[in-house]
Amino acid sequence: MRWTSPHAAVYGTMDTSLLFSKLSPHLGNLAPNAIQIVYDSLKYGDRSGNTEPEIVCCVWIPDTHITALESWTGLDGHTISVLVTTSHLPNSPAFQKLTKDVARIIHPKSHLKGTIVLVSTQTWLSNNNAYINLARLFARADWVLLVPPMLEPLLPGNNFARTMSRLGHQAQTLGSSLLFRSPNNQGQTMGGILIPQSTPMWCSERYYLSNVGHEWSDCIQDLLAYHHKLGASNSTKSIEDVEQQKR
């Protein structure tokens, strides 16, 4: 399934609770409490005097790697939208324990900016692009950095926060999208991509693909092709590229 909408920008102005109507029934049990907003500090339009375009990092974290939340919530001064998935049923002891674990991780982070959503889903319906789409859905900002959805989540390195600040400067003049390679991966398959949140195209959700790399590669290529069709320029850079450009 490919998500497109002429009203994509409208989602950013919607209250968080209204965004639930966008959720696909294929994500499993949508009974009460199957979806919990564990944390939400995003207020659309509240820029607190900041004139630079805001970028939200969209990340998917399965509950089997919940410790990755420590790293992503530790990005001082940067905004995140994290989707945490679990196969535990809502109101079950395991689900409640996970909720407490998430709360324990984020409690000391008094300056945390972003949204953390906990979703009960089915493992046999795994489509990693669907999860990153949902993380993007709850990101109310000008730009979103889609982090490759991996079963073992990618973690922000030592230079990530600084690089995000550099990207914020570049987004002011960026035509459309920026393919963002990690320093350990010079290919495009598992790179992240920076796009305007108003882009009316979402990652393809093809449940017949079992290879994470193929799923994400399809998403990257579709987004780049969309912006290219509009006549906008695309860029491909690594962390080192961004760092060197500002020196």
In a domain, residue 1? The reply is no
In a domain, residue 143? The reply is yes
Write b or e for each residue in 110-120: b if 16 or more Cβ atoms lie within 10 A of its Cβ, otherwise e: eebbbbbbbbb
In a domain, residue 66? The reply is yes
CA distance 96 to 46: 32
What confidence score (pLDDT) does residue 216 get?
86
CATH of the domain at 147: 3.90.550
What confidence score (pLDDT) does residue 232 get?
58
Between 58 and 6, the more confident residue is 58
- How large a percentage of the chain has pLDDT more than 70? 62
In a domain, residue 75? The reply is yes
In a domain, residue 3? The reply is no
- 186: pLDDT confidence band, cut at 50, 70 and 90? very low
- 199: pLDDT confidence band, cut at 50, 70 and 90? confident
Lowest pLDDT segment from 112-126, 188-202, 231-245? 231-245
How many folded domains does the chain comprise? 1
pLDDT tens, 62-100? 999 999 999 999 887 788 999 999 989 888 899 999 999
**Hey, which of 31-40, 98-107, 108-117 has the most confident mean pLDDT?**
98-107
In a domain, residue 2? The reply is no
CA distance 236 to 212: 21
| Cβ-based neighbour number of residue 101 at 10 Å | 15
- Distance (Å) of CA 203 to CA 43, 107, 121, 217: 25, 32, 19, 10
Which whole number is the average pLDDT over 47-69? 80
What confidence score (pLDDT) does residue 137 get?
92
- 101: pLDDT confidence band, cut at 50, 70 and 90? very high
Between 11 and 112, the more confident residue is 112
pTM for the full model? 0.76
Cα angle value 174/181/219 (rounded, 5°) = 80
Residue-number span of the structural domain to which 79 is assigned: 8-245
In a domain, residue 41? The reply is yes
In a domain, residue 22? The reply is yes
Considering the chain, what is the average pLDDT of its residues?
74
